[in-house]
Chains A and B, each alone.
Chain A
């Protein structure tokens, strides 16, 4: 499994990074592999609020629909529209395909670093 060093991770297989004052969120290589070929992404809208631990989006493959949980509390600033037309990008390039960017972040859960996340994945196998 690919686990870039510079990112942070959640126990529920999202990756997180900070960019220009916003929190960028996506799903990990482990997640896209478990889901299989992704066929549809059901995103929130810019302006929606998100909360720590709550689902903000769902991702659909042929065999499953999975909720993506937010590691932060805040407001959705941007949504990756590209994924609407090409959901398979999440499979091909999970770390290059962000789902949402969140601003006005008021709360955050404890995140794992790359090593800790890799350990978690190894246990789940």
Chain B
């Protein structure tokens, strides 16, 4: 049996005696007999560290680790610098609790302050919080921020990631608020439909940039339409794209949210990830979650501290607009170290290369008869192709150690990042050609 209890049996007996008891059962004297477990749990016996290592590793070995990943759809395989893996593994960061005691946690608080600044720089916004659970819940929390007594309907584009839409739908269901989906035309939000749907009861419109199909939305035009109707605009942006792309601020959004996973977090079968939330200063006090602010101590020394906490659940209780009381601190730290080590030029490079390689693969694939782009708009690093024999194609690629695009809506949603070398792209094209017999 493995144990992390640093006590000998003799010490435990001493301690029991000091408490005035003779047995462990007496410690649980308040537990009624009928529920006190008198038999062992029906799980295996504990193991030594070596055995556990072997057993869990065996599970990992049952997974396929592809040499190249050409699938995105919300989780992106970017290059992760070595230092980005190392810094968050420092035990002082990893095993700390939330930095409520500012005097001994200036290191953590400062790292969060730096993260908040970096997100503001990336999005063009004035204020960012310390992160939330993921991009999907960030969108849901942002939609909740926009509601007031007169406007309670949330509009969301059908071109947003399905998991994000479903999460917003869930949060709306919780509160009894309405969510309405704005249809898509040619792979982008239908602006005419949006115009019609921007009624007086609408609090916000949520869009994704680039959207789930990889297409760039006409964000400025859509945000302007939203503001004209008196509602707020929530924009979810890919953070790598933001290194070169017009920011949500420049597009006129009120709140910027998104998924931080591409910023140094491995795919990890879906988590842990982190969501970012940033907004214009007008809505600062509506931001949920933790926020770090700068202040001073009695000696005038610069100090960082968790602030605006009166909004949080532990004080507001049932009047809080959200129950969130944690951030994904270590993931936000990972994102900070990624942004710091890549720097503005490195991130721009990752963005440009992802976009270039995606366009290269698209051109090569569409050179094969039977394969074409479904949507004709400008795209970043994801694109949807029409293609026959999809299961066969993906299966053949799998055998070569390549995870092909996501089979979606009768087509294939491909994604290419800076991590995929040209040889693999060419290998992919050759493989598709072969399967399609062309």
Query: Which residues in A have some Cβ–Cβ distance to B below 8 Å?
Result: 39-40, 42, 60-65, 67
- Interface residue tally on B, bucketed by range: under 10
Known: A40-B285, A42-B285. A63 touches B315 (CB 8 A): yes
A67→B310 contact, CB < 8 A: no
Closest to A58 in B: B319
Known: A61-B310, A62-B310, A64-B315. 9 other contacts (CB 8 A): A40-B285, A60-B310, A60-B311, A62-B309, A63-B310, A65-B310, A65-B315, A65-B316, A65-B319
Q: For the complex, what is the distance from the CA of A67 to the CA of B316, rounded to whole Å?
A: 10
- Looking at A42, A61, A64, A65, the one whose CB has the most chain B CB atoms below 10 A away is A65
Closest to B307 in A: A62
Residues of A within 8 A of B310 (CB): 39, 60-65
Mask of B160-199 contacts with A, CB within 8 angstroms, 1/0: 0000000000000000000000000000000000000000
19 contacts between A and B (CB under 8 A): A39-B310, A40-B285, A42-B285, A60-B285, A60-B310, A60-B311, A61-B310, A62-B309, A62-B310, A63-B310, A63-B315, A64-B310, A64-B315, A65-B310, A65-B311, A65-B315, A65-B316, A65-B319, A67-B319
Closest to B312 in A: A65
Q: How far is the CB of A45 from chain B (nearest CB, A)?
A: 12
Closest to A39 in B: B310
Q: For the complex, what is the distance from the CA of A64 to the CA of B309, rounded to whole Å?
A: 8
Q: How far is the CB of A26 from chain B (nearest CB, A)?
A: 20
Q: How far is the CB of B280 from chain A (nearest CB, A)?
A: 17
Q: How far is the CB of A63 from chain B (nearest CB, A)?
A: 6
6 pairs of A and B residues whose beta carbons are closest in the complex: A65-B310, A60-B310, A65-B316, A64-B315, A64-B310, A63-B315
Closest to B284 in A: A40
Q: For the complex, what is the distance from the CA of A62 to the CA of B310, rounded to whole Å?
A: 6
Closest to A65 in B: B310
Q: How far is the CB of B295 from chain A (nearest CB, A)?
A: 11
Q: How far is the CB of A100 from chain B (nearest CB, A)?
A: 17
Q: For the complex, what is the distance from the CA of A64 to the CA of B255, rounded to whole Å?
A: 25
